[in-house]
Amino acid sequence: MATSMVCLVALCLVSPLLLAGAVRGNPGYGGGLFPQFYEHSCPKAKEIVHSIVAQAVARETRMAASLVRLHFHDCFVKGCDASVLLDNSTTIVSEKGSNPNNNSIRGFEVVDEIKVALETACPGVVSCADILAIAARDSTILVGGPYWDVPLGRRDSLGASIQGSNNDIPAPNNTLPTIITKFKRLGLNIVDVVALSGGHTIGLSRCTSFRQRLYNQSGNGLADNTLDVSYAAQLRQGCPRSGGDNNLFPLDVVTSTKFDNFYFKNILAGRGLLSSDEVLLTKSAETAALVKAYADDVHLFFQHFAQSMVNMGNIMPLTGSQGEIRKNCRRLNNFH
């Protein structure tokens, strides 16, 4: 009976939300973006990006997760406009120095390499924002995840927002309502929250992002009681009470280099690494139903993840004559 109730809840929740997501992602792809944008102006663009991303992921599997995260941290701040790639200058305070990004965000050299190749093939045509969107899709596929058509035609920002980066990116210790609010503000829904969290099926996290769960979750000096005891003991060995801030741990303890649904199975077993992972199960029946549905059905997860990546990629793009096409992703064209 309990099982059938969960299934009913999952179906009731997933269907309307999935439909909303599907409808939202399709017509015109939002903001005038479409997958064939470079078909005539730079026909080899996608091939060039794929080739360089494939080499980078072959050198270091972790790079796949880093490139997906770069796109995420770009889109959540002023939209998908490559603002995250800008370095400090006389006029720019770089988002790279924000709390979520400092000593953490990576993959910039891969983007540089892609940009150089694209500028050689088609000077001034392919935006840095579109490079991030294609690289995130290719990274996902290269480690076993789903394919999706990437809507293209974004242009690059003329500024950055360190305040936006500090305030708008969901944090590992945010409450679930805060996380949901940060998504909803950008036009994303509950399915997007849970599906995109599933990106944590690959990649690594620093000790500083989950230490409080091991030692002092609610200010009472005790570990988070939703954390599996043996898993917590294992984590404490490499993440001491103080020091070791940058020690790295897999976000998916079972298959950290493969894009699959073990992230959700782990959460059900009390082996989600971050507080923001665990609260998907423990703080809302709606998100818990999706965690269970994805743990049961990898195809459903892949379908939702692909659609949610399109939805995220559609956040406030610059198009037409807005912004510019940067020649170097780290600086504005009129750099001084």
- Residue 34, helix vs strand vs coil: strand
Distance between terminal CA atoms of the chain? 67
Instruction: Determine the Cα–Cα distance for residues 3 and 12; give it in Å rounded to an integer.
Output: 14
Distance (Å) of CA 253 to CA 49, 85, 231, 262: 30, 30, 9, 8
Query: Quick count: other Cβ atoms within 10 Å of Cβ 20?
Result: 15
* 50, 71, 73, 200: the active-site residue: 73
Phi (first) and psi of residue 194, to 5 degrees: -75, -40
Phi (first) and psi of residue 179, to 5 degrees: -60, -50
Q: For the chain, give the number of residues.
A: 336
Please indicate whether residue 73 is annotated as part of the active site.
Answer: yes
For 251-281, b/e burial (b = at least 16 CB within 10 A) is: bbbebbbebbbbbbbbbeebbbbbbbbbbbb
Contacts of 68 (CB under 8 A, 6+ apart): 136, 139, 140, 199, 202, 203
- Which residues are part of the catalytic machinery? 73
